[in-house]
Amino acid sequence: MGIEKMNYVSLYRKWRSNNFAELVGQPVIVQTLKNAILNNRLAHAYLFSGPRGTGKTSTARILAKSLNCQQGPTINPCGECANCQKIKGGHAVDVIEIDAASNRGIDEIRELRERVRYAPLEGRYKVYIIDEVHMLTPEAFNALLKTLEEPPAQTIFVLATTELQKVPMTIISRCQRLDFSRIPLVEIKGQLKKIAQDEKITVDDKALDLIGRSAEGGMRDAISLFDQLISFCGQKIGYDDVVNLLGTADEELLFKFGEAIASRDLKLAIDLVRRAIEDGKAMLQVTRDLVGYYRNLLHLKVGSGELLDLTIEQQQRLKEQAQKYSLARIKMILQSLSQAELDMKWHPHGRLVLEISLVEIVDDGQPVATPQPVEQPKTKTEVTDLGPLVKIKDHWKTILDGMKRKSVFGYVSLREGEPMEVTSDGKLVIGFRKGYSFHKERLEEAKNKQALEEAIREVTGSPVAIQCIINENGQKSGISVKSVADFFDGRIV
């Protein structure tokens, strides 16, 4: 007996938003487009930018339905009429979707310019949806620009992109730009719960947390992963199932790594690597998970935990662990782990790379008390010259607090320096260790320098000029803080 063929529809296609009410996580964009339809203030071209899987193409289709629904224009397309059904099925003659990644040349855009002159055949508007528009060639962009400058009546363009910086400003300036944000974890979980209930799937809350975090704010990725888990597990999905499918480090393993590193227990840290391997975890993924874990600790350490998609219980547990680390040590750990992640992409022994990184992290050469030079008797003049420096050092914490109120970035950099001397012409010299030139340069910026001078004047009662130097005799940090900053800007949301 042969296997009966079934027409399976993926969960993402089945649960794709069909109207504005179903669009999750983009309230500002929904309200903007609704008002435009209600008030007849439609732009001739829209630019939808944002991360993948956040609803750009779905929103474009919903807009097309709203304009061409036989009961419209309306903010609530019926979904039942011939036009709505054709748009949903992808074969409406007046809604043309173009994948710029595959049709990126000038010939395709010239063809578009020829077709755009004709009036709509079935609906009120012709809607051109150009996905991944940043992939067009410069020549194609120039050809598209001509059409955007003189748009035909009853024609609307929707350009969608995940890389806004690659779209020429000449194009951006001729569109109404709408920025799609990553969807909050709570809304992703809510949608997954709704799908699970409808599909009669049992899934625990921790599993939903992990699915949502793995999707990094993309609803499409979350639903696709959920669909894959159903194929993998059947009708009941647990936290361990998600961990096994993703090959990620589970929450408890990461916490144990954090405890081992905090207590400098190298034997336990190396043993945790062994356990991860025995559980089938990929070393590259474990390293990525550790980077994410210490990023969480960093945010909780500096008081920006509200930026993290964590439950209250998770935040509390991580806050307690963050107290066992200094800010400088967390930064060093992130630097070492992110370098290990990069090295693993070409090194044949990923386990060895992580183990060496852990050795460096645990045995990180923390500065020990160094012998102080014998203090020479001071002349009366020297004691007088040192007076302002002593006062500044005694009130350094107050100066730091004042700087924090005036400039947060300046405050972070000032924490890495120390007052060294007051020169004969009244300048306060602040020294930074080797490897901390990023902080030196940032503190030398005019606004930060001025803020520091004001903070010192508020404490000492007299103006003091600032001079920043690299202290060649200081402890070498070995940490490139700029590279950590670059890492967060380019890699993590």
**C-alpha dihedral, 8 to 14 to 16 to 17, nearest 10°:** 160
Q: What is the pLDDT of residues 466-488, one digit of tens each?
A: 999 987 665 433 333 333 344 33
pLDDT level of residue 365 (50, 70, 90 thresholds):
low
Q: How many CB atoms lie within 10 A of CB 71?
A: 12
The predicted pLDDT at position 104 comes to 75
| 349, 282: one domain | yes
Which residues have C-beta within 8 Å of that of residue 481, sequence separation ≥ 6? 331, 416, 435, 436, 438, 439
Sign of CA dihedral 409, 414, 417, 422: positive
Six token digits for residue 28: 């500002």
Q: Do residues 173 and 149 make contact, with C-beta atoms less than 8 angstroms apart?
A: no
Q: Is 122 exposed, middle or buried (0-12, 13-18, 19+ CB in 10 A)?
A: middle
Q: What is the pLDDT of residues 201-225, one digit of tens each?
A: 999 888 888 888 888 888 998 999 9
Q: Is the pLDDT of residue 180 over 50?
A: yes
| 219, 360: one domain | no
Q: What is the pLDDT of residues 211-267, one digit of tens each?
A: 888 888 889 989 999 998 998 888 898 888 888 888 777 788 899 999 999 999 989
Q: Which domain holds residue 396?
A: 381-470
The H or E element spanning position 177 is strand 176-179
Is 488 part of any domain? no
The predicted pLDDT at position 5 comes to 54
Q: Is the pLDDT of residue 401 over 70?
A: yes
> Whole-prediction pTM value?
0.61
Is 492 part of any domain? no
| 276, 211: one domain | no
CATH of the domain at 325: 1.20.272.10
CATH of the domain at 204: 1.10.8.60
The predicted pLDDT at position 31 comes to 94
| 81, 172: one domain | yes
pLDDT level of residue 364 (50, 70, 90 thresholds):
low
